[in-house]
Structure 1
């Protein structure tokens, strides 16, 4: 009796395994994308069985690529570029959302060619320059979110170039490293944002060097703005009617208002190398 039950359980497990293995690759990919981090799908899933390998080798797993946790473990932009290129190729340039730290020119080149598919691009701390943006960026008509925080080699010129190719932007994150409280005022970036991205609804400009003049440009020209975060932007004084204009926003954080929420995700990622040859 015990042996018979054991055989039945074994058969049930084998049947369940075969049902998983035989699932359509697209369905498998949707399941993997929901429950597994990127490094697991690259380094472990392909070695389970042929069906799983085919699922992660195709484009269906890679509509959303979040490499931030993995990138936090590395200071090597070359390694980041290799992974970004590999996964964008796997997606057949159909990535809809890509998040990666410390991206360089090779990785940015691939991302910039995702065309109509790309809706969100988060590339903080990247080595991309104004010249690289001008050289490689292609029309990204459906891009709604752009995060170029801590990208020290991008200036107002690069932001303007993004604006010309990304007409659907409604969210911009341009948070910078903390500066000395007495840094000279520079209003060039907020003025560029106001002139070229008037449809923005959500703007983060923490630790910017701008003052009241730059802030006024944004508040005046970005008519759809509902969320503005300028914490650490010490040159802003909110003189005149600026304070009243800011209070009308649904969400406003100034250099003098504390906020318990974190400006960046601090979750840890596992230190796993991307080693497959595709």
Structure 2
């Protein structure tokens, strides 16, 4: 049998390539979203929607916004006004149709916090360091967030033990609290204020990981935490100059934890090195999925 030679014109080749490209358009929106979310949020908004109409519809829909991370954008833009952050956060939360599972944003304000707080059962991780949220805002706007597992309110100067109590009373599934504050000056180390530590111990008893760097609390406050938070495995109180670990058997209890960092321990020997800390973060982050 003789061989038959087929010649394909350039126009036909182009048609085949175009047809293959159209396969992307026909993909399920959820599958496309899994690809798009690997792109930084601001880059995705600026570039992806202009490729084709189906891609624009995917980015405008809820599937790309279950995880909202604008932390890098906040850093790069040096956004100093909460209203700018709130505008972006509100827009993306609405796109998600209030199905956000994780939000990470600096300098969150009242209107942004309000919209995030009504995400309800879907929200698992809320990271809003350096926000302007006050106790009054938290008490006024916080709704039950039964599945929230990680809360980061580091460098939130306007939140006190009253706001922490409101979070604790509405977020019963919390297992990780970040409450890192800026380093204290020597004259700021007194008087001791155990109010936040005692509130955490009373309202967040299920916590497994607690980061309270540079807090004003003393031995009594830490004793309340390690006594009442029965599931605690990680405690970081580095820079908390009022802690002396001289209260009863507090030192022994703290050192029996899986990981413990405090002002009295020298970390130069690799007690809590970065590799080990990174592994811990990776292992715990899987719990939030």
TM-score (norm 2): 0.86
- Structure 1 pair 75/9, CA: closer, same or farther in 2 (3 Å)? farther
State the distance in 2 between where 1:158 and 1:251 align: 27
Q: Which residue of 2 aligns with 1:241?
A: 249
Seen in structure 2, the aligned counterparts of structure 1 residues 252 and 18 have a Cα distance that, compared at 3 Å, is same
Asked if 1:261 is matched to 2:281, the reply is no
Q: Does 98-107 or 20-29 show the bigger shift? A: 20-29
What is the rounded CA distance, in whole Å, between the counterparts of 2:242 and 2:20 in structure 1? 63
Provide the rounded CA distance (Å) in 2 between the counterparts of 1:154 and 1:144. 19
SS of corresponding position for 2:238: coil
| Comparing 73-82 and 131-140, the one that deviates more | 73-82
Matched, 1:62 2:65: yes
- Work out which of the residue numbers 33, 36, 40 in structure 2 matches 1:37: 40
Give the CA RMSD over aligned residues. Answer: 2.0
Q: Give structure 2 stretches of 5+ with no counterpart.
A: 279-289
How many corresponding residue pairs? 262
Moved more, 58-67 or 175-184: 175-184
SS at match of 1:213: helix
Name 1:268's counterpart in structure 2.
none
Residue 222 of structure 1, CA deviation: 0.6
Q: Deviations over 1:154-209 (max 9, x none)?
A: 00000000111111111110000111134211111001000111111110000101
Query: Whole-Å Cα distance in 2 between the matches of residues 120 and 67 of structure 1?
Result: 14
1:45-60 equivalent positions in 2, closer than 5 A: 45-60=48-63
- 1:9 CA drift (Å): 5.9
SS of alignment partner, residue 72 of structure 1: helix
Find the counterpart in structure 1 of residue 32 from structure 2.
28
Counterpart Cα distance in 1 of 2:245 and 2:13: 71
Q: Give the deviation of 1:256 after TM superposition.
A: 3.4
- Structure number with bigger Rg: 2
Instruction: Report the counterpart of residue 79 of structure 1 in structure 2.
Output: 84
> Kindly tell me: are residues 154 and 6 of structure 1, through their superposed partners in 2, closer, same or farther at Cα, counting changes over 3 Å?
same
Determine the structure 2 residue equivalent to 1:187. Answer: 194
CA distance in 1, matches of 2:31, 2:261: 43
Partners of 2:244 and 2:264 within 8 A in 1 = no
Q: Could you list the per-position Cα deviations for residues 60-97 of structure 1 after superposition, in whole angstroms to 9, with x for gaps in the alignment? A: 11111111111113222111100100000000100011
Q: Output aligned runs, 1:103-118, within 5 Å.
A: 103-118=108-123
Question: Aligned in 2, Cα 1:180/1:16: closer, same or farther, shift over 3 Å?
Answer: same
Q: Matched residues in 2 for 1:225 and 1:37: separation? A: 34
Per-residue deviation, 1:11:
4.3
Name the SS for the 2:107 alignment partner: coil
CA–CA distance in structure 1, aligned partners of residues 181 and 13 of structure 2: 58
Question: Aligned match of 1:166 in 168, 171, 174?
Answer: 171
Q: Which has the higher contact order (CA 8 A, sep 6+)?
A: 1
Unaligned runs of 5+ in 1: 265-278
Q: Distance in 2 between matches of 1:75 and 1:197?
A: 31
In the alignment, structure 1 residue 101 sits paired with structure 2 residue 101: no
Q: TM-score by structure 1 length?
A: 0.89
Residue in structure 2 matched with residue 251 of structure 1 by the alignment = 259
Deviations 1:126-172, CA, capped at 9 Å, x for gaps: 00000000111111111111110000000000000011111111111
